[in-house]
Amino acid sequence: MSKRDYYEVLEVSKSASKEELKKAYRKKAMLYHPDRNPGDKAAEDKFKEAAEAYDVLSDDQKRSRYDQFGHAGVNGPQGGGGFSGGFDMDDIFSRFGDIFSDLGFGNFGGFGGFGSQGRGGRNIKKGTNLRVKVKLTLNEVAEGVEKKIKVRKLNACKHCGGTGAKDNSSYNTCHTCNGHGYVTKVQRTILGSMQTQSVCPSCNGDGKIVTSRCTKCSGEGVINEEEIITLNIPAGVSDGMQLSVGGKGNAARRGGVNGDLIVLVEEEKHPDFIRDENNLIYDLIISIPDSVLGAPVEIPTLDGKVKVKIDPGTPSGKLLKLRGKGLPSINGYGRGDLIVRIIIYIPSNISKDDKKLLEKLNESYYFSPNTAKKDKSFFDKFKNYFD
């Protein structure tokens, strides 16, 4: 099951302050606390979900990565955020002890007048997310790139401002919820009075009833149209990574907050390089004479060609490392390396003269395998392949 948006979990906007986040989390903690919901697995899951959301959004660095990359930015091996199912109740209580200390658990009188109203007591509506694929070359991955894409999405109607009403006088207060957008029910249990809230079924959480609809959007508050969106792709992304652009998804019907645009990165294959995380691998094919005698060669990199000297007696399979010539880390900490694999070309077809030459070399003392057994430096080269 995919994770819910952390802002949606806490019912706050993407611009919420730390104090607003803390208040929202306290409300969720009170609602789903295990002391209030003994044996309720669903409530326990929501309690953990709220803790995970607060853990990420209350930390500036984690929140920044989440806003840019979504869940992938905080739950991956370098994300450093989110509980990822690895934290139990004790972990949550120890981490957020200051928040739970004054909630009055154990004394259920402390819950008097409690209700889950969400932000400002009004149900928060959110538009659906959009998903797009963006193809990137390896050079674009290395440098980062700005992409402009055209998407068809639901935008708030400009004529009515997304309200769905003809004008400012085309409303009536909802009589079911008295304009609150939610209805409250109070139940008596062995733990005392339990107060729950749900979206008003009459106005769908708006608090108002539209009496005369907007003629442009037929009262929906949204219009389907094309929009050009600018994406700033950071350097170091990888194939399959998902980036999140907040507020660029579909608009919510009759007000609320926009959904997000989820960007799936698709990396195009490079003709020369193989990617291994932040390292690049390049296969350098050399001739037998060059491997024996040594030779200067040019090796391509993402920044242009560099000259490298092949040492005499270089065997096939040896690895050369060009430090810092790989891809940048998406965290901004350094770059990977360019690993050059030496491959000696062995021709399958040769001329008669070449055959005679090779047969003569095969009779030479220095080309005999028996000589290799006495050559300590020959075996040292193999030991040092990965140095």
Is residue 153 a part of any domain in this protein? no
Task: Give yes or no: residues 365 and 342 share one domain.
Answer: no
- Number of domains the chain is built from: 3
CB neighbours (10 Å) of residue 86?
7
Is residue 190 a part of any domain in this protein? no
Task: Give yes or no: residues 328 and 373 share one domain.
Answer: no
Is residue 236 a part of any domain in this protein? no
Would you state the pLDDT for residue 116? Answer: 35
Give the SS3 label for residue 344: strand
Is residue 76 a part of any domain in this protein? yes
**Residue 205 and residue 182 in contact, taking contact as beta carbons nearer than 8 Å:** yes
pLDDT tens, position by position, 29-60: 888 877 677 777 888 888 889 888 998 998 88
Residues 6+ apart with CB under 8 A from 189: none
Q: What CATH number is given to the structural domain containing 10?
A: 1.10.287.110
- Cα dihedral sign, 317-321-326-330: positive
In sequence order, which ranges of 110-196 are alpha helices (DSSP H)? 138-143
Give the SS3 label for residue 172: strand
Tokens 């981490």 correspond to 95
Task: Give yes or no: residues 370 and 331 share one domain.
Answer: no
Task: Give yes or no: residues 323 and 310 share one domain.
Answer: yes
Would you state the pLDDT for residue 77? Answer: 40
Would you state the pLDDT for residue 250? Answer: 92
> End of a domain among 72, 90, 114?
114
Q: How far apart are CA 294 and CA 286, in angstroms?
A: 10
Q: How far apart are CA 319 and CA 283, in angstroms?
A: 9
Q: How far apart are CA 15 and CA 4, in angstroms?
A: 18
Query: What pTM was estimated for this model as a whole?
Result: 0.56
Task: Give yes or no: residues 310 and 365 share one domain.
Answer: no
Write out the two tokens for 250: 């579909």
**For the chain, which ranges sit under pLDDT 70?**
1-2, 35, 75-124, 189-192, 332, 371-387
Would you state the pLDDT for residue 192? Answer: 67
Residues 6+ apart with CB under 8 A from 43: 32, 34, 36, 37
Q: How far apart are CA 269 and CA 273, in angstroms?
A: 8
Task: Give yes or no: residues 92 and 22 share one domain.
Answer: yes
Is residue 244 a part of any domain in this protein? no
Write out the two tokens for 85: 């199912």
Is residue 330 a part of any domain in this protein? yes
> End of a domain among 114, 130, 154?
114
Task: Give yes or no: residues 20 and 96 share one domain.
Answer: yes
As separate numbers, helices (DSSP H) first and strands (DSSP E) second, the chain gives 12, 15
Would you state the pLDDT for residue 256? Answer: 76
- Which domain covers residue 313, as residue numbers? 269-346
Strands, E assignment, 200-332: 208-210, 222-233, 242-245, 261-267, 273-276, 279-286, 295-301, 304-310, 319-322
Task: Give yes or no: residues 339 and 363 share one domain.
Answer: no
Q: How far apart are CA 183 and CA 205, in angstroms?
A: 9
Q: 195, 161, 202, 162: which is closest to 180 by C-alpha?
A: 202
Task: Give yes or no: residues 382 and 327 share one domain.
Answer: no
Task: Give yes or no: residues 336 and 364 share one domain.
Answer: no
Is residue 353 a part of any domain in this protein? yes
Write out the two tokens for 111: 């819950």
Would you state the pLDDT for residue 381? Answer: 54
Task: Give yes or no: residues 352 and 342 share one domain.
Answer: no
Tokens 């409530």 correspond to 43
Task: Give yes or no: residues 48 and 108 share one domain.
Answer: yes
Would you state the pLDDT for residue 124? Answer: 61
CB neighbours (10 Å) of residue 261?
22
Is residue 97 a part of any domain in this protein? yes
Q: What CATH number is given to the structural domain containing 274?
A: 2.60.260.20
Phi, psi of 126 (to 5 degrees): -135, 135
> End of a domain among 114, 146, 179?
114
Write out the two tokens for 58: 């209350």
